[in-house]
Structure 1
Amino acid sequence: MTRGEHGISREDVSPNALKVMYRLNGAGFESYLVGGCVRDILMGHEPKDFDVVTNATPEQIKGLFRNCRLIGRRFRLAHIVFGREIIEVATFRGHHSEPDSNDEAAGDSKAAKAKVTAKQDAHGQLVRDNVFGTIEEDAERRDFTFNAMYYSVADFTVKDFAGGLEAIEKREVRLIGDPEVRYREDPVRMLRAVRFAAKLSMSIHPDTATPIKKLASLLTNIPPARLFEETLKLFLSGKGEATFLMLREYGLIAPLFPQIEPFLADESCREMQFILKVLRNTDDRINNDQRVTPAFLYAALLWYPLEEKSQILQAESGLNAHDAFNIASGEVIAKQTQRIMIPKRFSTVMRDIWILQQRLPKRFGRRAFQLLTHPKFRAGYDFLLVRGQIEGGELLELAQWWTQFQHADATKQKGMLNALRKSENGPRPRKRKRRPAKRPPDA
């Protein structure tokens, strides 16, 4: 596509990305903007980041940029650092295949080289993929059709190798190549398909959607640390509620959150309503540029498994409620981190939010004022408020009490505590004065 056909201007592109491409071009290499940034500009969205692809090897890229660092084992990438902005530069990826005996004997054949630089596990998943190739091969190795468009600052054209513009017009998420093979190569592509569909208000093409339920269990082979990063993209994009519903539709909740799957019987159950309410609130905060923390979201996702585990421990082990709750919280987090690694800085906050659910009902004496000074009071209160809105009854009354108490002046707070004490204990009976015992008459 020429400049007049696609309408992309250099004004739409990060100045730092332009610097990277100009320098690569000036050194005799090809370079292009690729992937999500090209797609977003064509859809009228503002890209969050800019990725560049080139025929220069990672070592050649590093030789051109002092502010470059090479990262990655599965596929080697160059990060060009401009303060807070990082321009990711990748070398064109090529095809790989297992060499036959003649190739191995040749020693320096292309296939023999592929064996050294590309590796798959028993499930077909790529664990190393440093095979370099041409732009045409790179396009075939891209995941979705709308991510295989390349913008050049050399001639201002867009190369569309896989019908990406057509996918945008039809609003379809469609994989390049055989979907089952591509999912086996990298099961995270199933999550990406859902994320793009929710984020871009698209549908997933039937050929791309059909294998997902069958292959969902492959996600258990993905390192938990990588899945943590992927779930942040899923739920902190401003489309978390729609994404969660789509994950459930395609059977992707169980491999990510096995403990909550049994609770999601239907959309009307309280557990489902609670999670959707939290995601809806999170979406609103993100779309209004307010801060959010993954700890709150994970605390919500695992709240009902925690409640159930605590009750089981009390019934089976005879533990008191406090000890059962503490043990259950540790076990629930430990089980979740087998699938998705939750960094300690977030799991600690999750525990604080959960513990506050135990403490907030205890408001007598100085406890209410002490809870107001707790560093995580606001998060604990917000969590309680959503629980109250979903479950109603005494829980909602408790949340409403805290809503009033935290904003009241000192006199009103004292009055609220006095009223609470009276309502809990009722009127205190008057103490009857004991009459002194009669002294026996002197003998």
Structure 2
Amino acid sequence: MLRIIPREQHSISRKNISKAALRVLYRLHDAGFDAYLVGGAVRDLLLGGHPKDFDVATNATPDEVKGLFRNCRLIGRRFRLAHVVFGPEIIEVATFRGTGEEGGEGDRHIVDGRIVRDNIWGTIEEDAVRRDFRVNALYYDIGDFSVRDYVGGMQDLEDSTMRLIGDPELRYREDPVRMLRAARLAAKLNFTIDKATAAPFATLGHLLGEAAPARLFDESLKLFLGGHGLKSFRMLEACGLLKFLFPVTARALERGDEALRALVEQGLANTDKRIADGKSVTPAFLFAVLLWGEVRDQAHAWMAEGLDVNEAWQRAAVHVVGEQCQRVAIPRRFTFTMEEIWALQPRFEQVHRKRVFRLMAHPRFRAAFDFLLLRAHESPQMNELGEWWAHAQQLPPEVLAQALGGGGVPSPEPPTVAAAPARKRRRRRKPAGRGKGDSGNA
């Protein structure tokens, strides 16, 4: 049932809407089309937030939108959209989606319950029920500045609850990634997930394994690099979804290693703080944190079998990254950095003069050192090792060199750490028939 909230009864102000979005809304409206701000931007504005992205819904078709804006390009095959470009800002304009099997100039194609192509145009009422969550189906009308609610989204905002529109099982089968979106938005907004909305996670979570790995990579960035990574991680665990997105991480944490959990959660908290402070972050470091437990355990297992230290770490990294990339397609430019961060960890234990300076000169030293500090909970020795390297970086190079060379300059004593297994040297066999007195039957 439609609920209209007039301008004086809601908190949305045009001064908090980007000028680019307002230009799109007004031009569509002035051309005789319906034009609404919709989705997450409306939700966040009503909650007092400051959205970065603004989406527009209209009854104009993509071609009609393109005819109004020279700076417009049409994209998408599954969902035909118009992108109106204003420098670095892109305003996404979507035509109202319909619920019928036929209509307009578009078409719909469903395979095994999943919508693979959907370009059926409809009314705003149909568009509302086609959206995923009720809090995302609120429309800000540029004509009279009211908010239009067709599905109960305002009530969910007041209740701080995430509810799906329609039958949850059917909606998740249409698009399994909606399960991750439920967890992410609940974490971001400090909302709870409605019981009916969360109930299918246990039985349908495995469908995430059929989602495109590249799409899951994008969703992972939204989960962990959106400023709410720690809460998203805890929400994924609470919902039982972590094992379907990061099975390697879930498996390592199930062993009950509290030091590993502390490392993961501190890494996520540090990332959230950097984002809040406006500092740069890289997915490579965060994925290195998430996959560390399994890489470490695999490397130690192979070293215990006598494998060379460097080869053990390299093999562990390749094995774990290969398994994870079957689920989440992490680009090679990130996995390469991850592998370097892991490979440098055992080198921190080699506090000898030449090796210390060589390690400090490595292009990944800073990232690897930050990673080392996260490992402080692993043992008192690891904490001591991190402190030693932190102090060593504060010393002038000549002072550090003299201290490491036994010159007696005050500096921390090299920490005592458990030595890595000794490298086994393979014995070379002499070619048959070449040694003196060799009978050829060695």
Normalising by structure 2, what TM-score? 0.88
The equivalent residue for 2:368 is: 380
Distance 1:422 1:234, change over 3 A: closer
Which runs of structure 2 are paired with 1:113-262 in the superposition (5 Å)?
117-122=107-112, 124-262=113-251
Return the match for 1:294 from 260, 273, 283: 283
Task: Letter of the 1:393 partner, please give it.
Answer: P
Q: Which residue of 1 aligns with 2:54?
A: 50
Distance apart, 1:9 and its partner CA = 2.0
Secondary structure at the residue paired with 2:84? strand
8 A contact 2:81–2:93 mirrored in 1? yes
The alpha carbon displacement at 1:152 in A equals 1.3
1:81 aligns with 2:69: no
Indicate whether 1:333 and 2:321 are aligned. yes
Q: Tell me whether 408-417 or 270-279 shows the greater mean CA deviation.
A: 408-417
- Give the residue type in structure 2 aligned to 1:55: N
Q: 2:29 aligns with which of 20, 25, 31?
A: 25
Q: Secondary structure at the match of 1:139?
A: helix
Any idea what the Cα deviations from partners look like across 1:211-251, whole Å, max 9, x if unmatched?
11211111111111111110111011222111111101111
Q: How many residues align?
A: 408
Deviation at 1:424, TM superposition (A): 8.6
Is the 8 Å Cα contact of residues 385 and 396 (structure 1) preserved in structure 2?
Answer: yes
1:96 Cα offset (Å): 4.1
Gaps of 5+ in 1: 98-109, 426-443
Pairwise CA RMSD of aligned residues? 2.1
**Residue 13 (structure 1) aligned with residue 2 (structure 2):** no
2:400 aligned to 413, 420, 425, which one?
Answer: 413
1:298 CA drift (Å): 0.3
1:366 alignment counterpart: 354
- Supply the AA of the counterpart residue of 1:404: H
Give the unaligned 5+ runs of structure 2. Answer: 417-442
Would you say the 8 A contact 2:25–2:35 is kept in 1? yes
Contact 1:96–1:118 under 8 Å retained in 2: no
Aligned with 2:206: secondary structure? helix
1:265, CA displacement in angstroms? Answer: 2.6
Q: Where does residue 69 of structure 2 map in the other structure?
A: 65
- Summarize the Cα distance change of 1:393–1:415 in structure 2 as closer, same or farther, 3 Å threshold: farther
Q: Percent identity?
A: 50
Tell me how far apart the structure 2 counterparts of residues 90 and 242 of structure 1 sit (CA, whole Å): 31
Contact 2:310 2:343 in 1 (8 A): no
Corresponding residue number in structure 2 for 1:41: 45
The structure with the largest alpha-carbon Rg is: 1
- Classify the secondary structure of the residue corresponding to 2:293: helix
After superposition, what is the alpha-carbon deviation per residue over 1:335-375, rounded to whole angstroms, capped at 9, x for unaligned?
A: 11111011122111111211111222223122212222222
Q: In the TM superposition, what whole-angstrom CA distance separates every residue of 1:286-329 from its partner, at most 9, and x where no partner exists? A: 1222211110010011111112222343455x431211211221
Matched, 1:94 2:82: no
Q: Secondary structure of 2:248's match?
A: coil
* 4+ residue runs over 6 A deviation: 420-425
- Distance change >3 Å, CA 424–CA 129, structure 1 → 2: closer
- Once the 2 structures are TM-superposed, how far is the Cα of residue 210 of structure 1 from its aligned partner? 1.1
Q: Is the 8 A contact 2:353 2:405 kept in 1?
A: no
The answer to whether the aligner puts 1:324 opposite 2:312 as a matched pair is: yes
